[in-house]
Amino acid sequence: MAADAEQLLHEGEARHMLALDRIGEYEVRPGFYDYEGASPIPGGVNFTVHSHGAVSCELLLYHRKESEPYAVLPFPENYRIGDVYSMIVFGLNVEEFEYAYRVDGPYDPAKGLLFDKSHVLLDPYAKAVTGQSTWGKKVSDDGYRARVVRNNFDWGALKQPKIPMEDLIIYEMHVRGFTKLAKDVSAPGTFLGIREKIPYLKKLGINAIELMPVFEFDELAGRRIVDGKEVLNYWGYNTVSFFAPNTSYASAVEYNQEGLEFKQLVRALHENGIEVILDVVFNHTAEGNEDGPFISFKGFDNNIYYLLTPEGYYYNFSGCGNTMNCNHPVVQQMIVSCLRYWVTTYRIDGFRFDLASILGRNEDGSPMEKPPLLQALACDPILADTKLIAEAWDAGGLYQVGAFPAFHRWSEWNGRYRDDLREYLKGGLWCAGAALERITGSKDLYDPAVRGTHASVNFLTCHDGFTLYDLYSYNQKHNEANGWENTDGANDNRSWNCGWEGDTKDPEVIKLRMRLIRNACAVLFASRGTPMFLAGDEFCNTQFGNNNAYCQDNEISWLDWGRLELFPEIHRFFRQMIRFRKEHPAVRGTKVPAVCGLPETSIHSEIPWMAPAEGSRAGAVLFACYDPKRKKDDIVYLVINPFWEAVEVKLPGLPDGLKWYMKVNTSAQGEEFLELAIWIRNDRVLAGARSVMILLGERKEK
């Protein structure tokens, strides 16, 4: 709010200096039209909302838990400028009311006009939503309402980490599932639970967490009973309000301070050098299709907020019933304002955009060459230091990995990395060339001159699909518990059960699985690009073969921390590989070339300087750069043998005085697979069956 406006209204001076109107028992005046939502001001509250097609708007005020409003305040006609209604209501105490709107206008479904004054509508810019503070408890039949939030959190002088993309190590987690079964936290399944787990995160070595949706969503949408068990919309990809945190993720009700516990979490993570990335869902909302509820956008301007067919039906490029009209100026403005709000009010460091290709579709659903929304986000000054990560595809068949409209700013979830490396690491020798290209940064997809050198976010697992343990324990998905007769979820998993479907006590199968997990871990953290992995992969968490656990609010999705004790060697290997990555700029990427003349990256087979061809059984990647910190060249050689027999690999020659030093060997005897301290006497190594080696070019001290 402008300083002169604050001064004018300070301590009730407005009553002496401004002519006030009266609606019922309330004194009112025209409000601040460029401040969307509801904002507390001295002496009252400013309410601003807009609708292009409406002919009238009413503000409804409720006492908590009351079904009928105690006051209905129609916006006077002269309180509307353009499409914006704005009104200051004096004498309101924000702790004593909740609010909603009713909007009237034309009803013509064929034209996408669905105005109906009987619908109670949630403010699209609401900063807090009532009625869902308890997980799994049904929102009132009277609909959603909003609260006014006091934004008085003191961030102090704390600076955000601002970690470069090449140095980032992303850990994807679900707020509830991460600590629901954790015995060492006081508030399982909450923001506080994550805060209490920060020592674990620091010890693991990650420096960014990517939170699955934390905007207010309805977990009870689509609630069903399957085989006697309740299934919910657990993941949260059905946004109710874009500006409001999910209040059921707080450990206590935060009346008019909603978001406080989340802010405390963000501050604590920043204090420990960990960034916060939010998984945001702007491609669709919880209002669904023609049969879905009226929550907010349908009632305010259905034909503006959603992509509609010429007949007035919803396009469904999201697979969830509706598709947001993201490149309409009104919707674009809302999305930009939303992200600015989370960056300035919550100090969020980055966003991962679910089904981001939808954000580049025109109003007729066609892909745009230069989508205004994507360009606006890339160029926005408030978001200048914010990570922008696209899931570069959608449910309508638009796949843009490597071709997403990036404007020199956007990174991408590299789905090609996931697919090619999964295939290669399970023995798909035919995929060697593509897999090694992914390891070197996918320059065939991301031209460094156009996309920079860190456009690729590399991952083998994420919330959507198998866990890493399940990737090598199941040949087929096992989603029967979802209630769709195992028809949901991806069929192309590129997994391998190592000879037995599911859990087994066979020591040879278990041994092989552990090696393949180590292989995947070693390759992920020794690849050019930003690594990301799914929470729990570091201790072999399982979803029992379910590769689409979106509805499983139970032990299928919750992390089983008991497995940390069952698989300590995998956890230790993850920590060591994360530390290895941090210690080697040649892997992360640098602009300083190696003094010895070796190229920055190069691809090899079991024969150096010869790329894999038909008949090649092993592949290798050489990274080299100058490390200013250690004042010497950093030379890393990654050897991958996905073949089922050992393969002799000849190593590239090194400049005078340097020798190859074995750092990692996933097929080593015992449990010491890293920190091996083995000097290679000649130019050859024997890569064990289905194994990964990492060697360093070092100067051997006498």
Q: Tell which residue, 235, 78, 598, has the closest CA to residue 246.
A: 235
SS (H, E, C) 209-271: EEECCCEEECCCCCCEEECCEEECCCCCCCEEEEEEECHHHCCCCCCCCCCHHHHHHHHHHHH
pLDDT the model gives residue 241 = 97
Q: Is 509 helix (H, G, I), strand (E, B) or coil?
A: helix
Is 354 part of the annotated catalytic residue set? yes
Helix (H/G/I), strand (E/B), else coil: 611: coil
Which positions ≥6 away from 295 have C-beta within 8 Å? 121, 122, 143, 144, 240, 285, 286, 287
Give the pLDDT confidence of 502-554 residue by residue, as tens digits. Answer: 999 999 999 999 999 999 999 999 999 999 999 999 999 999 999 999 999 99
Beta-bridged to residue 21, according to DSSP, are 28
The structure tokens listed for 192 are 């506080």
Q: What is the mean pLDDT of residues 390-401?
A: 96
pLDDT tens readout for residues 617-644: 999 999 999 999 999 999 999 999 999 9
* 528 vs 333: CA distance, rounded Å: 35
How does residue 471 score in pLDDT terms, banded at 50, 70 and 90? Answer: very high
In tens, the pLDDT along 62-115 reads 998 899 999 999 999 999 999 999 999 999 999 999 999 999 999 999 999 999
The chain-wide mean pLDDT, for the chain, equals 94
pLDDT of residue 16: 43
Structure token pair of residue 589: 């990427």
Mean per-residue pLDDT for 187-200? Answer: 98
| Radius of gyration for the chain, computed over Cα atoms and rounded to the nearest angstrom | 28
pLDDT score of 563: 98
Q: What is the mean pLDDT of residues 560-587?
A: 97
**Residue closest to 103 by CA, chosen among 143, 145, 55:** 55
The answer to whether the Cα torsion of 543, 544, 545, 546 is positive or negative is negative
Domain with CATH 2.60.40.1180 in the chain: 592-699
pTM: 0.96
- Express each pLDDT in 200-251 by its tens digit: 999 999 999 999 999 999 999 889 999 999 999 999 999 999 999 999 999 9
Q: Is the pLDDT of residue 702 over 70?
A: no
Could you tell me where in the chain the CATH 2.60.40.10 domains are found?
3-105
Mapped onto helix, strand or coil, the DSSP state of residue 521 is helix
Architecture of domain 3-105: Sandwich (2.60)
Q: Tokens at residue 189, please?
A: 């399944």
Q: What number is the average pLDDT over the span 262-281? A: 98
CATH of domain 167-583: 3.20.20.80
Direct distance between the N- and C-terminal alpha carbons of the chain, in angstroms, rounded to an integer? 69
Which tens digits make up the pLDDT trace of 368-388? 999 999 999 999 999 999 999
Structure tokens at 47: 């309410």
Residue 615 scores a pLDDT above 70: yes
Q: Report DSSP letters for 61-126, one per residue.
A: EE-TT-SS-SEEEEPPGGGEETTEEEEEEET--GGG-EEEEEEE--EEGGGTEE--TT--B--TT-
Is-contact 545 477, C-beta < 8 A?
yes
Report the alpha-carbon distance of residue 88 to residue 79 in Å, rounded: 10
Residue ranges matching CATH 3.20.20.80 in the chain: 167-583
Q: Which residue out of 349, 391, 419, 464 is catalytically annotated?
A: 391
Rounded to an integer, the average pLDDT of 172-188 is: 98
The pLDDT value given to residue 672: 64
CA 635 – CA 523 distance, rounded (Å): 16
676 pLDDT band, cuts 50/70/90, is low
Architecture per CATH, 592-699: Sandwich (2.60)
More confident residue, 266 or 449: 266
What is the mean pLDDT of the segment spanning 159-178? 97
Per residue in 44-61, pLDDT tens?
A: 999 999 999 999 999 999
User: Which pLDDT score is estimated for 591?
Assistant: 79
The pLDDT value given to residue 452: 84
Residue 575 CB-density burial (10 A; 0-12 exposed, 13-18 middle, 19+ buried) = middle
For 115-152, what is each residue's pLDDT tens digit?
999 999 999 999 999 977 789 887 777 789 999 999 88
Structure tokens at 200: 């674990």
Specify the higher pLDDT residue, 594 or 1.
594
For the cut 80, the answer to whether the pLDDT of residue 670 exceeds it is no
Structure tokens at 53: 């097609």
In the structure, what pLDDT confidence band is assigned to residue 274 with cuts at 50, 70 and 90?
very high
Q: Which two tokens stand for residue 127?
A: 């900063």
Name the catalytic one among 196, 218, 275, 354.
Answer: 354
Q: Please tell me the number of Cα atoms within 13 Å of 426 on its side-chain side.
A: 19
- The Cα 264–Cα 192 span in angstroms is 8
In this prediction, residue 12 has a pLDDT band, given cuts at 50, 70 and 90, of: very low
Distance CA 68, CA 633 (A): 72
User: Is residue 588 within a helix (H) or strand (E), and if so which, with residue range?
Assistant: helix 585-588
Residue with tokens 């593509």, as numbered in its chain: 434
* β partners of residue 86: 48
Q: For residues 140 and 459, what is the distance between their CA atoms, to the nearest angstrom?
A: 40
Rounded to whole angstroms, the Cα distance separating 132 from 151 reads 21
Q: 403: pLDDT confidence band, cut at 50, 70 and 90?
A: very high
Asked if 552 and 175 count as a contact pair (C-beta separation under 8 A), the reply is: no
